[in-house]
Structure 1
């Protein structure tokens, strides 16, 4: 088996162009991966990788060796995965990331129910509004909202969200209710991380730049400001639905609602998803179907 030592590590580094990403994929450490690759190079008597502080690239010999070894490693991984998926229970650590508020309200509770069904699965849940790199962070599934940017990932649609413009009744009584998009310039708009609100007008999407006294990157804080009567806010419905139902907020500009956006489970391309990842995505899709 000496011929296999370092091969998986080399193939992972070659695929991702990074010792860190390779270590995350293999569940190892950068030091161990680097040592195994160095030992492989010594055994073969050739240099497989060009290493700099900024990037890792293949030598000519490395390209040839990678072309021959890649399919062998994939075949071994597929064989192992086929056997492990024969187990009735998925197992191992499931690494998930999701936006903070949506994650707290929906993803975390559903993940906890998933763990109750599958006691051999452990959860590592990172709630952040940053778009994390799945490979570098070793993440199995990312929950993303709205328009997707990275076309290299695979996405499964879990549900939809709707952006709503709302204000407190007291604010509307004092300042009037806007009837057209042009009238927004007369109002205090509570601005989030971007100062562009999205609408649909006569069947076409429209982006409108807004301004106001308050700018904040927290939807919860903007919701509180809107309820306090400080201006109009545009937020996804899961932020404001309860407040609208209670009368604390009132939706405006309903005829200009933007098209509904997707809620996605995103993961890296893989011919065979592990049981825990496949079952978790299916569980989310079924639970969020409504």
Structure 2
């Protein structure tokens, strides 16, 4: 009898915990639109008992100190206490608004990049600096116009302020709608490929809500 009561209490507490579960998740700005947000919406509809606390930031927050369950990042895993699952790979592309001339010589194209490039100051600038030097642009980064917000940066390029550097998935719709076009000459400008990963605690056994979320995200990106 006591054993049955104990089992019933355990089941009740387990169900109650799941009913009120909140997953704390951090992701960069470029994830807060399109396919990724659709995935989160699908998860919420599939598991309405699990709520999400989303932290949208380009900073790499400490999962332990900030009590975060999952992080999504486009960088290599640096913490041995964490586990990483690769979701997809993105590439960096150079895009210009529709008003910019397309029929330019190589010299003219480099001149446009030198004069009109907008710097996304929320990314790792050391790699960008090396690439610009490699293709012959010696202009220091501090002499370019810089914008530190991903959505404001995209809007600036769409408005014709200058040429922009984007991850391909972040401007997928704008490219399809011909609002911007990809500059492929004189260089493809794929100066960096990024593996986007889901990161979570390695040394902590996942509770059921965390395991459901991990499996849902993994299946979503491997099946599409």
Q: 1:143 aligns with which of 63, 69, 72?
A: 72
Q: Distance in 1 between matches of 2:172 and 2:54?
A: 25
Q: 1:217 to 1:101 in 2, by over 3 A?
A: same
Task: State the Cα distance separating 1:114 from its structure 2 match.
Answer: 1.4
Task: Tell me if 1:95 matches 2:24.
Answer: yes
Shift of 1:221: 1.5
Residue of 31, 48, 53 corresponding to 1:119: 48
TM-score when normalising by structure 2: 0.73
Question: Unpaired runs of 5+ in structure 2?
Answer: 1-9
Q: Report the aligned-residue RMSD.
A: 3.5
Mapping of residues 231-242 of structure 1, within 5 Å = 231-242=162-173
Q: Give the Cα separation in 2 of the matches to 1:256 and 1:132.
A: 29
Higher RCO (C-alpha 8 Å, min separation 6): 2
Shift of 1:216: 0.8
Residues 16-40 of structure 1, C-alpha deviations (whole Å, 9 max, x = no match) = xxxxxxxxxxxxxxxxxxxxxxxxx
TM-score, normalising length: structure 1: 0.58
Answer with 1 or 2: which has the greater Rg.
1
SS in 1 for 2:216: helix
Q: State the shift of 1:102 in Å.
A: 0.8
SS for the counterpart of 1:288 is helix
Which has the larger share of helix? 1
Q: 2:87 aligns with which of 126, 150, 158?
A: 158
Offset at residue 260 of structure 1 (A)? 2.8
The aligned counterpart of 1:222 is 153
Question: How many residues are matched?
Answer: 201
Displacement of 1:144: 0.9
Contact preservation (8 Å) 2:81, 2:203: no
Match in the other structure for 2:114? 186
Q: Which residue of 1 aligns with 2:175?
A: 244
**Helix, strand or coil for the counterpart of 2:95?**
strand
Shift of the alpha carbon at 1:135? 0.7
